[in-house]
Amino acid sequence: MPRQARIIEEGGIYHVFNRGVEKRKIFLKNQDYSRFVISLEIFNCEEPVDLWNFLIQYRKDKNIKQLLAKKLKEQRAKKLPPIVEVLSFCLMPNHFHIVAREIVEGGISKFMQKIGGYCVYFNKQYNRVGSLFQSRFKSIKITSDQQLQAIFNYVHTNPVELIEPEWKKFRVEDIKKAIDFLDNYKWSSYLDYIGKSTHPYVIKKEFFRDCIGNQKKCKDFVEAWVKSRAKKIVDKDEIKSILLD
């Protein structure tokens, strides 16, 4: 039976999600997270980018960090037009979330196809074969201001689950610890929004800044969500409207 065509509208904003097959970890060390974050920038163009062969070509005399820095410098110098605007993201050990606006026809599908090349990197890095992700990516269109605000909070507070196992059940043992953890979790765009910029070339902050406000307001907004969720006063129907997992 043929797969149903995915309907993604140019100009639309989408919550995009995927996880490891059988919920396995897709990031095993910091290098893996870095490689994925860099791909969010490097693959955001129409032009094909063969990142793996680039690394193979130069890896004999330089470490991976230097190689990626070299590739990024080359790519930025080209000033290629992007195919999506990455508005926010969060990487977790066995899954990822991306919120993106499609700015050219087919941009999100092309972008995610390129991002899927991470599987090639991972398999070669860890001497494995087969699929890394459980399926092609899932996406849901964000159509209201309420959803926009909810997705900003939902994506950026995902890491709380790493220290608060009951997070998804609206239970938080230590609110301060959860907030402090988010303030130092570098594998999401949250730090960019609160003034601790770590991914300035990846994230387009203007859209959410217009919706939510400046750095302090973004921080206050997320912290209020954590506190509300801990007190079980978050609207669960609002959360369901943006969920894919």
pLDDT tens-place string over residues 99-126: 999 999 999 999 999 998 899 889 988 9
pLDDT at 4: 41
Diameter of the chain measured on Cα atoms: 55
The 8-class DSSP code of residue 159 comes to G
pLDDT at 60: 55
The angle, 0 to 180 degrees and rounded to 10, between the axes of the packed helices 30-42 and 118-125 is 150
Q: Residues of the chain whose pLDDT is less than 70?
A: 1-10, 50-65, 232-245
Q: Tell me the C-alpha distance between 128 and 216, whole Å.
A: 44
What is the C-alpha R_g of the chain? 18
Q: Average pLDDT, whole number, for the chain? A: 85
CA angle 199, 216, 154 (to 5 degrees): 65
pLDDT at 3: 39
Integer angstrom CA distances of residue 141 from 134, 138, 147, 234: 21, 10, 9, 21
pLDDT at 59: 56
Q: What is the pTM of this model?
A: 0.85
Give which of 13, 7, 18, 93 is closest to 244, Cα–Cα: 18
pLDDT at 30: 93
pLDDT at 64: 65
Please list, in sequence order, all residues whose beta carbon lies within 8 angstroms of the beta carbon of residue 228, skipping any fewer than 6 positions away: 234
Q: Tell me the C-alpha distance between 177 and 179, whole Å.
A: 6
CA angle 110, 116, 122 (to 5 degrees): 160
Which domains, and CATH codes, for the chain?
Answer: 12-46+81-242 (3.30.70.1290)
